[in-house]
Amino acid sequence: MEKSPDAFRTISEAAEELDLPQHVLRFWETRFSQIKPLKRGGGRRYYRPQDIDLIKGIRHMLYEQGYTIKGVQKLLRDNGNQFIVAVGRGDVAAVEAIAQSKQAEAEQRASEDEVLVGAPKVKPNKRFFGLARGEGEGPVSADSASLSRDNRALLQEALFDLLECKRLLDQVR
């Protein structure tokens, strides 16, 4: 007899549906606090449909996408359960919508903070690859209105990384 899609599943039914051993489900409960099956008397576990969907997403990220447990934990922390559930279902539209909303939130926070990304690891030289650098000189100045704040921040971070590479190369020479 087939169960309703909304019915709770025992651990053996969940393991069979997910093609996972029962001990893996128990282990994942210890690693992912978001997996919370109901436990009845005697410790018998009952998985809700949303638990099954979340586990499908976690399984996909671990086994098919090659993420580590820590990587999936970070994804859950950063993007929430619905992101992993959408990944597990293969719902590309939902994944993109969640990613866009998270990006919009990050941009909102960045515009509120108005802080550029990155900081120089070393004090830059007066010359960079043979080009004189002065305040406000060069193709992109810090107050240039032609680039967005995010692009300026990315360029500044790349410049700092290049300066660090140049410093390391100069040490080797």
Contact, 91 vs 97, CB < 8 A? no
Contact, 37 vs 47, CB < 8 A? yes
Q: Rounded to an integer, what distance in angstroms lies between the CA atom of residue 167 and that of residue 121?
A: 10
pLDDT tens string 112-128: 655 445 554 445 444 44
Name the more confident of 107 and 113.
107
Name the more confident of 77 and 97.
77
pLDDT of residue 171: 80
Q: Tell me if the pTM is above 0.75.
A: no
Q: Rounded to an integer, what distance in angstroms lies between the CA atom of residue 22 and that of residue 20?
A: 6
To 5 degrees, how large is the angle CA 164–CA 168–CA 172? 165
Query: Domain spans of the chain?
Result: 9-113, 127-172
pLDDT tens string 3-36: 777 889 999 999 999 999 999 999 999 999 999 9
pLDDT of residue 19: 92
To 5 degrees, how large is the angle CA 25–CA 28–CA 31? 165
pLDDT tens string 32-77: 999 999 988 888 989 999 999 999 999 998 998 889 999 999 989 8
Lowest mean pLDDT among 23-27, 84-88, 89-93, 124-128: 124-128
Contact, 114 vs 153, CB < 8 A? no
What average pLDDT does range 118-146 have in this prediction? 47
Q: Rounded to an integer, what distance in angstroms lies between the CA atom of residue 103 and that of residue 97?
A: 10
Q: Rounded to an integer, what distance in angstroms lies between the CA atom of residue 173 and that of residue 170?
A: 5
Is 1.10.1660 the CATH number for 9-113? yes
Confidence bin at 145 (pLDDT 50/70/90): low
What average pLDDT does range 77-92 have in this prediction? 84
The secondary structure of residue 121, as a DSSP letter, is S
